[in-house]
Protein backbone atom coordinates (compact mmCIF):
# COMPACT_ATOMS: atom_id res chain seq x y z
CA UNK A 1 0.00 0.00 0.00
CA UNK A 2 1.49 3.41 -0.94
CA UNK A 3 2.16 5.85 1.84
CA UNK A 4 0.08 9.04 1.80
CA UNK A 5 2.01 12.25 2.49
CA UNK A 6 1.12 14.43 5.46
CA UNK A 7 0.30 18.16 5.15
CA UNK A 8 3.88 19.43 4.91
CA UNK A 9 4.95 16.79 2.43
CA UNK A 10 1.76 17.25 0.44
CA UNK A 11 2.45 20.98 0.22
CA UNK A 12 5.92 20.24 -1.13
CA UNK A 13 4.54 17.77 -3.68
CA UNK A 14 1.64 19.90 -4.92
CA UNK A 15 3.31 23.30 -4.57
CA UNK A 16 0.35 24.87 -2.80
CA UNK A 17 -1.07 25.19 0.67
CA UNK A 18 -3.34 22.27 1.44
CA UNK A 19 -4.24 23.23 4.98
CA UNK A 20 -7.96 23.64 4.55
CA UNK A 21 -9.85 25.62 7.12
CA UNK A 22 -6.76 27.18 8.66
CA UNK A 23 -6.88 30.96 8.92
CA UNK A 24 -3.69 32.73 9.79
CA UNK A 25 -4.00 35.83 11.94
CA UNK A 26 -2.45 38.37 9.53
CA UNK A 27 -4.94 37.47 6.80
CA UNK A 28 -7.98 37.43 9.08
CA UNK A 29 -7.44 40.49 11.27
CA UNK A 30 -6.10 43.81 10.09
CA UNK A 31 -5.37 46.62 12.51
CA UNK A 32 -5.15 50.28 11.56
CA UNK A 33 -3.60 52.69 14.04
CA UNK A 34 -4.34 56.37 14.59
CA UNK A 35 -2.32 58.78 12.46
CA UNK A 36 0.56 60.64 14.11
CA UNK A 37 -0.97 64.10 13.66
CA UNK A 38 -3.78 63.14 16.05
CA UNK A 39 -1.48 61.29 18.44
CA UNK A 40 0.88 64.26 18.77
CA UNK A 41 -1.83 66.33 20.43
CA UNK A 42 -2.32 63.69 23.13
CA UNK A 43 1.44 63.37 23.60
CA UNK A 44 1.75 67.13 24.00
CA UNK A 45 -1.02 67.27 26.59
CA UNK A 46 0.56 64.43 28.58
CA UNK A 47 3.97 66.14 28.54
CA UNK A 48 2.46 69.51 29.49
CA UNK A 49 0.63 68.08 32.51
CA UNK A 50 3.80 66.16 33.47
CA UNK A 51 5.76 69.44 33.41
CA UNK A 52 3.15 71.13 35.62
CA UNK A 53 3.31 68.20 38.05
CA UNK A 54 7.10 68.46 38.20
CA UNK A 55 6.87 72.18 38.87
CA UNK A 56 4.67 71.40 41.87
CA UNK A 57 7.58 69.53 43.43
CA UNK A 58 9.55 72.79 43.51
CA UNK A 59 6.67 74.83 44.92
CA UNK A 60 5.49 72.60 47.77
CA UNK A 61 7.79 71.47 50.56
CA UNK A 62 5.62 68.61 51.84
CA UNK A 63 7.16 65.25 51.04
CA UNK A 64 3.88 63.58 50.13
CA UNK A 65 3.08 66.31 47.56
CA UNK A 66 6.53 65.96 46.01
CA UNK A 67 6.24 62.16 45.81
CA UNK A 68 2.72 62.34 44.38
CA UNK A 69 3.66 65.00 41.80
CA UNK A 70 6.83 63.17 40.76
CA UNK A 71 4.91 59.91 40.43
CA UNK A 72 2.20 61.60 38.38
CA UNK A 73 4.82 63.17 36.12
CA UNK A 74 6.51 59.80 35.65
CA UNK A 75 3.23 58.09 34.74
CA UNK A 76 2.28 60.83 32.27
CA UNK A 77 5.72 60.76 30.66
CA UNK A 78 5.47 56.98 30.32
CA UNK A 79 2.07 57.33 28.70
CA UNK A 80 3.44 59.88 26.22
CA UNK A 81 6.28 57.53 25.30
CA UNK A 82 3.83 54.64 24.89
CA UNK A 83 1.61 56.75 22.60
CA UNK A 84 4.62 57.69 20.50
CA UNK A 85 5.72 54.11 19.90
CA UNK A 86 2.27 52.48 19.78
CA UNK A 87 -0.60 54.74 18.70
CA UNK A 88 -4.10 53.54 19.60
CA UNK A 89 -6.06 51.32 17.22
CA UNK A 90 -8.64 53.21 15.20
CA UNK A 91 -10.04 50.38 13.03
CA UNK A 92 -10.03 46.58 13.11
CA UNK A 93 -11.29 44.47 10.23
CA UNK A 94 -11.80 40.72 10.21
CA UNK A 95 -13.97 38.23 8.35
CA UNK A 96 -17.00 38.93 10.55
CA UNK A 97 -17.05 42.73 10.56
CA UNK A 98 -15.33 45.98 11.33
CA UNK A 99 -14.79 47.95 14.53
CA UNK A 100 -14.36 51.67 13.85
CA UNK A 101 -13.21 54.15 16.48
CA UNK A 102 -11.28 53.91 19.70
CA UNK A 103 -9.25 56.00 22.14
CA UNK A 104 -8.63 59.61 21.06
CA UNK A 105 -11.29 59.41 18.31
CA UNK A 106 -14.93 58.31 18.65
CA UNK A 107 -16.63 55.56 20.63
CA UNK A 108 -15.99 52.18 18.98
CA UNK A 109 -18.79 50.94 16.74
CA UNK A 110 -18.92 47.33 15.55
CA UNK A 111 -20.63 46.51 12.26
CA UNK A 112 -21.02 43.09 10.65
CA UNK A 113 -20.29 42.91 6.94
CA UNK A 114 -23.71 41.49 6.17
CA UNK A 115 -25.38 44.45 7.92
CA UNK A 116 -23.94 46.91 5.39
CA UNK A 117 -26.35 47.66 2.55
CA UNK A 118 -24.37 50.37 0.77
CA UNK A 119 -20.98 52.07 0.84
CA UNK A 120 -20.11 55.51 -0.46
CA UNK A 121 -16.90 57.48 -0.32
CA UNK A 122 -16.40 61.20 -0.03
CA UNK A 123 -12.95 62.76 -0.38
CA UNK A 124 -12.26 62.41 3.33
CA UNK A 125 -14.84 59.94 4.67
CA UNK A 126 -16.30 56.51 4.08
CA UNK A 127 -20.03 56.11 4.69
CA UNK A 128 -21.33 52.67 5.71
CA UNK A 129 -25.11 52.43 5.29
CA UNK A 130 -26.77 49.88 7.58
CA UNK A 131 -30.27 50.50 6.27
CA UNK A 132 -31.46 52.19 9.45
CA UNK A 133 -28.46 54.47 9.95
CA UNK A 134 -25.35 55.68 8.17
CA UNK A 135 -21.94 55.60 9.84
CA UNK A 136 -19.43 58.19 8.63
CA UNK A 137 -15.78 57.43 9.36
CA UNK A 138 -12.98 59.90 8.50
CA UNK A 139 -10.19 58.21 6.56
CA UNK A 140 -7.78 60.78 7.99
CA UNK A 141 -7.79 58.82 11.26
CA UNK A 142 -5.91 56.01 9.47
CA UNK A 143 -3.51 58.48 7.83
CA UNK A 144 -1.53 57.11 4.90
CA UNK A 145 -3.19 53.73 5.39
CA UNK A 146 -6.63 55.24 4.65
CA UNK A 147 -6.76 53.94 1.06
CA UNK A 148 -5.66 50.51 2.29
CA UNK A 149 -8.49 50.54 4.85
CA UNK A 150 -10.96 51.50 2.14
CA UNK A 151 -9.75 48.71 -0.17
CA UNK A 152 -9.97 46.25 2.73
CA UNK A 153 -13.56 47.32 3.48
CA UNK A 154 -14.60 46.77 -0.15
CA UNK A 155 -12.83 43.40 -0.40
CA UNK A 156 -14.34 42.09 2.83
CA UNK A 157 -17.81 43.33 1.88
CA UNK A 158 -17.57 41.50 -1.45
CA UNK A 159 -16.36 38.34 0.29
CA UNK A 160 -19.19 38.53 2.84
CA UNK A 161 -21.85 38.93 0.16
CA UNK A 162 -20.31 36.24 -2.05
CA UNK A 163 -19.90 38.30 -5.19
CA UNK A 164 -18.45 41.58 -6.43
CA UNK A 165 -21.24 43.85 -5.28
CA UNK A 166 -19.20 46.81 -4.09
CA UNK A 167 -16.69 48.46 -6.42
CA UNK A 168 -14.12 51.08 -5.52
CA UNK A 169 -14.32 53.99 -7.96
d(CA 57, CA 63): 9
For the stretch 72-98, pLDDT in tens is 999 999 999 999 999 999 999 998 899
Residues 62 and 105 occupy one common structural domain: no
Mean pLDDT score of the chain? 83
- Considering only CA atoms, which of 122, 118, 142 is closest in space to residue 34? 142
CATH code of the domain in which 147 resides: 2.30.29.30
Alpha helical stretches, state H, 86-135: none
- Considering only CA atoms, which of 42, 68, 45 is closest in space to residue 56? 68
pLDDT of 161 over the 50 cut: yes
pLDDT of 62 over the 60 cut: yes
By residue range, what is the domain housing residue 127? Answer: 91-161
Q: What is the mean pLDDT of residues 130-136?
A: 89
pLDDT of 9 over the 60 cut: no
Q: Going along 4-158, which residue ranges are E strands?
A: 30-33, 89-93, 97-100, 109-112, 118-121, 125-129, 134-138
Residues 101 and 150 occupy one common structural domain: yes
pLDDT of 55 over the 50 cut: yes
Amino acid sequence: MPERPNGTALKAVTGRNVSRGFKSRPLCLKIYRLDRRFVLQAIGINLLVAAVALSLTAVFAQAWVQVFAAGLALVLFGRAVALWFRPPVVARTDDDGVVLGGPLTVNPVQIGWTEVTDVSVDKQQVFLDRGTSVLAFPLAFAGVRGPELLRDVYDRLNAAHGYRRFELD
